[in-house]
Amino acid sequence: MSLEAMRKDHTAISGIQLAAEEPIRLLLREEYGDLKPGKIILSDGSHVSVDGLSDDGLTIVEVFCRQGSLLDGQKKKVARDILKLAMLKAEDPERRAVFCYANTKLEGHLKGGSWFAKAATHFQVELKNLQHALPKELKEDLEAAQRLQATNRGQRKFRKGVR
């Protein structure tokens, strides 16, 4: 799909980000085994979707594909993913919970003295940075999609202000 077509189709932008999860799951295969998107049924009957689930259900993975700088909403998404993994680990302590990301700027929030880092450590959520393992083309596709999102976001704000 061309960049012009993607500008008009917001689902295409999200599709690029979702499509990036599969190569990331493949990069994790050696360490965590085969992972597929899945749903986990909780003890109360509700369910939770995860980006990666092993065949035995004991490894759960959330993937964050954002490249570059983080907006406040993206930091909140990271916090929600870590909270989701912590809750799933608490429900079954045998589970291995992994938050996988590919972003050097996020590394600063997830290491050292941040509360993100403290929460991940406290709730035994493993943090895995694959920034240097991502194929160059995938990084470029993600960055292009993010630029389009930023353009679209700016246009929506402008239209709201004009009314």
DSSP H helical ranges for 68-114 = 72-91, 104-110
Predicted pLDDT of residue 123: 95
* Largest separation between any pair of C-alpha atoms in the chain: 54
State mean pLDDT over 129-142: 84
Structure-block tokens of residue 15: 């599709």
Q: Tens digit of pLDDT for each residue in 56-100?
A: 999 999 999 877 778 888 889 999 999 999 999 999 999 999 999
What residue type is assigned to position 104 of the chain? T
Range of weakest confidence among 26-30, 85-89, 117-121, 152-156 = 152-156
Instruction: Specify the pTM.
Output: 0.78
What value does the mean pLDDT of the chain take?
Answer: 83
Decide if pLDDT at 162 tops 60. Answer: no
Per the CB < 8 A criterion, the answer to whether 62 and 96 are in contact is no
Alpha-carbon distance 160 to 141, whole Å?
29
Assign 6 a pLDDT band (cuts: 50, 70, 90): very low
Q: Does domain 3-162 have CATH number 3.90.1690?
A: no
Decide if pLDDT at 13 tops 60. Answer: no
Decide if pLDDT at 29 tops 70. Answer: yes
Domain limits, the chain: 3-162
Predicted pLDDT of residue 158: 46
